[in-house]
A and B are shown apart, each in its own frame.
Chain A
Amino acid sequence: MSKERAKRREVDSQWLRSAFWDEVEVEIEALDWYDFLEFLEADSLPIPIRGEFREELRERLRDFVRERYSH
């Protein structure tokens, strides 16, 4: 198994563990409003994103979503 694939599997299993979602719930319940506002406003910060990254990620996710949710 390639190193990247092994890493991918590790990350996948992390999301699927209930502890991960418990912590997401904790974050939501203890919502830090200043931090949340930073999140809301973050898209207006003058930070360029690498076009290559943006497009590659979009392609990968689109394929993934198509495969997962197509009926």
Chain B
Amino acid sequence: MKNSDQKLVDAIRGGDSAAFETLYKIYMQRIHNFALRKLGDPSEAEDVTQEVFAAVFTCLDRFEGKSELVVWIYGITRNILNNRLRRRGGVRLLCLDEMPPQAAPSELGPESRVAARQALACVQQAIEALPREQRRMLELRHGKRLAIRRIAELTHRSEDAVKSSLYRARRTLASKLPGAKLELSF
């Protein structure tokens, strides 16, 4: 766990209200927008945001620092979203075109944004270094969000071969991008 994560978590556990405000400001917009992108329903996105924060603050004692705080909160968000999507039976992505045109005032400082972009650049480099086929599979699956079956048709490979290629690509990325490389200075 990064030192800043540890300090923030310790401060909240110690009853520091400023630390609570910091964590809320860093994650509120991010969790809400991510949930809205996945669910496409503003009311459900609010429910998920509330659930995630309640889980985070109820169970902050469970945070052991085995991963970065941002990854831990992402894991909770992802799990709550998965549960909701399972109950509902599918994903509906909200296109940028469908979003309201007015830009929300961001509460985050420029440092967080820069850190996120640096992490993005780091991942981009790792993706570019992948073998061509793995890169293509990632792009089709995650960039274009095609189904495995459709990718198999387009690339003239079996579905198992596509899955295998995606698995190898993810493993390679995971090995090249350990949490320590994510310099997210929150």
Interface residues of A (CB under 8 A from B): 11-12, 14-16, 20-21, 23-25, 27-28, 30-50, 53-54, 57-58, 61-62, 64-66, 68-71
- What CA separation (Å) do A47 and B33 show in the bound complex? 7
- What CA separation (Å) do A20 and B51 show in the bound complex? 13
- What CA separation (Å) do A44 and B37 show in the bound complex? 12
CB pair B74–A39 under 8 Å, yes or no, is: yes
CB pair B75–A27 under 8 Å, yes or no, is: yes
CB pair A46–B103 under 8 Å, yes or no, is: yes
CB pair A11–B51 under 8 Å, yes or no, is: yes
Residue among A25, A44, A47, A71 making CB contact with B100, cutoff 8 Å: A47
Chain B residues, CB < 8 A from A47:
29, 32-33, 36, 99-100, 104
Name B103-134 residues within 8 Å CB distance of A: 103-104, 106, 108, 112-113, 116, 119-120, 123
CB pair B34–A38 under 8 Å, yes or no, is: yes
CB pair B32–A33 under 8 Å, yes or no, is: no
